[in-house]
Amino acid sequence: MITKQPVLNIGLVGHIDHGKTTVLYHLTGVWADKHSEELKRGITIKLGYADVIIHKCTKCNQYAIKKTCSCGGVAEPVKYVSFIDAPGHEMLMATMLGGAAIIDVALLTIAANEPFPQPQTKEHLLALECKGVKQIIILQNKIDLVTKEKAIEQYKKIKEFVKGSVAENARIIPICAQQDVNIDQILEEINTIESPKRDTESKPLFLIARTFDINRPGTEIKDLQGGVLGGILKSGKLKIGDIIEIKPGESLKKKDQTIYKTVKTKIIALRAGKNELQEVTPSGSLAIQTALDPFMTKSDGLVGCVAGLDNSLPEISYTLKLKTTLFKEIVGAKEQLKIDPLKTSEFLMLSVNTSTTIGKVMKMKGNEVELALKIPVLPFKGDRVGLARNYQSHWRLVGWGEIL
Ligand code: ZN
């Protein structure tokens, strides 16, 4: 029996040129970086999002995403999963961290024909650590472009590199995405991964990773469909008709000040891929259609917010207390830089769930820091926050903090 909701949310990470989009295409049949109108309007597929049902051939046991196997046998559905493509560009580190907040499994793509390790590859691995992602599969891509000896040499380097990291026990799969080589191995590996334990008993918390307007331009007001929220349900259950609140919500400019207004609305529809659902529980990517003015959800207008049942979310906070762990070195830059301890009055970029804010260090005591935030967040005790510091006008990951 295949589930109605994806059981895993899988993120593709790694250097921008190492073939992530091609990998995603061969895993899902969807070109993630196409800016086509169709993709822009799709409810379940926005840039970088796609759902897939993994099939297994009943005759030759090969894994595929199609019902008919290349051997001529019939493939049966075994697992329903969702994918997201995290941006590889260093400027989008904040987005990448936000993406890492909602994934269960990361596919780290490394090009076999490029020097290893690349600064960005290192930084993405650390970002996964910051956000507590533990399930990692390493894809050694473009193996057709190197000799067998070169591929083995790099494989050894990767093994050495991941020692002591979250990816220490990650399986390394050599692939050539463009020619569909070993894509079945990735699907097979994903199929062996158990879904994390899902909390359906606590209050519902929906982390918003994207929001959009699904109406075609020129739609009559009476035919307009309400704004859509995409993301994951971290805990609890939500059903059609529930009244929800979204925090911090809408940002409004008042004189020189920005204030945040909680947004309240009703759930009109719930979707997982093509499945329309009455009720949803924690899983891979989901979409909530609301009664909101689609203008509010247009172009990711509410990204970074958290949705919960009406009057159930904590107050927004302009301060954050963290227990911090700093890395030894900056890894995203070309040269290696030592990370100095945090200082009072310095500014850090913080990635809290799917949101990004800037915090000023106000107080410090050992590894505990108190920060004043520019954009408020919803602090949940125990959550992991990515910390980045500005070096030569780039935000570089320096460590992570646990919310106290
Ligand atoms: Zn077959």
Residue 116 CA to ligand 1 center (angstroms) comes to: 35
Q: How far is the CA of 19 from the centre of ligand 1 (A)?
A: 27
Which pLDDT score is estimated for 25? 85
Is residue 324 within 8 Å of 401, Cβ to Cβ?
Answer: yes
Mean local confidence (pLDDT), 119-131: 86
Find the 185 Cα to ligand 1 centroid distance in Å: 14
Residue 300 Cα to ligand 1 midpoint, Å, equals: 41
H helix intervals, 265-328: 294-297
Contact 231, 286 (CB under 8 A): yes
List, in order, residues 6 or more apart from 307 with CB less than 8 Å away. Answer: 204, 205, 206, 208, 229, 244, 245, 246, 288
Q: What integer pLDDT is reported at residue 30 of this predicted model?
A: 75
pLDDT greater than 50 at residue 330: yes
> Is pLDDT at 31 greater than 90 in this prediction?
no
Q: How far apart are CA 94 and CA 99, in angstroms?
A: 9
62 Cα to the center of ligand 1, angstroms = 5
231: left (phi over 0), alpha (psi -120 to 50) or beta: left
Residue type, 216: R
pLDDT tier for residue 282 given thresholds of 50, 70 and 90: very high
Q: How confident is the model at residue 152 (pLDDT cuts 50, 70, 90)?
A: very high
Summarize pLDDT for 310-328 with one digit per residue, the tens. 999 999 999 999 999 999 8
Q: CB-based contacts of 180: which residues, under 8 Å, 6+ apart?
A: 26
Residue 50 is predicted with a pLDDT of 83
pLDDT at 43: 32
The residue type of 266 is: K
Q: What is the pLDDT of residue 46?
A: 42
- Taking a C-beta distance cutoff of 8 angstroms, is the pair 329, 336 a contact? yes
State residue 87's pLDDT score.
57
**Distance from Cα 60 to the centre of ligand 1, integer Å:** 4
- Is pTM beyond 0.85 here? yes
* DSSP SS3 for 59: coil
Q: How far is the CA of 65 from the centre of ligand 1 (A)?
A: 12
Query: Which helix (DSSP H) or strand (DSSP E) does residue 11 occupy?
Result: strand 8-14
For the chain, state the CA radius of gyration: 21
- pLDDT average, residue stretch 163-187: 93
Judge contact between 167 and 219, C-beta under 8 A. Answer: no
Pairing of strands 238-239, 279-280: antiparallel
CA 231 to centroid of ligand 1, rounded, Å: 34
Question: Is the pLDDT at 48 greater than 90, yes or no?
Answer: no
Domains of the chain: 8-192 (3.40.50.300), 205-309 (2.40.30.10), 317-403 (2.40.30.10)
Task: Say whether 32 sits in a helix, a strand or coil.
Answer: coil
Pairing of strands 49-57, 63-64: antiparallel
How much of the chain exceeds pLDDT 70, in percent?
Answer: 93
Q: Report the pLDDT averaged over residues 192-213.
A: 93
One-letter amino acid of 300:
D
* Mean pLDDT for the chain overall: 89
Q: What is the mean pLDDT of residues 97-126?
A: 88
For residue 64, the CA-to-ligand 1 centroid distance in Å is 9
Give yes or no for residue 36 having a pLDDT over 70.
no
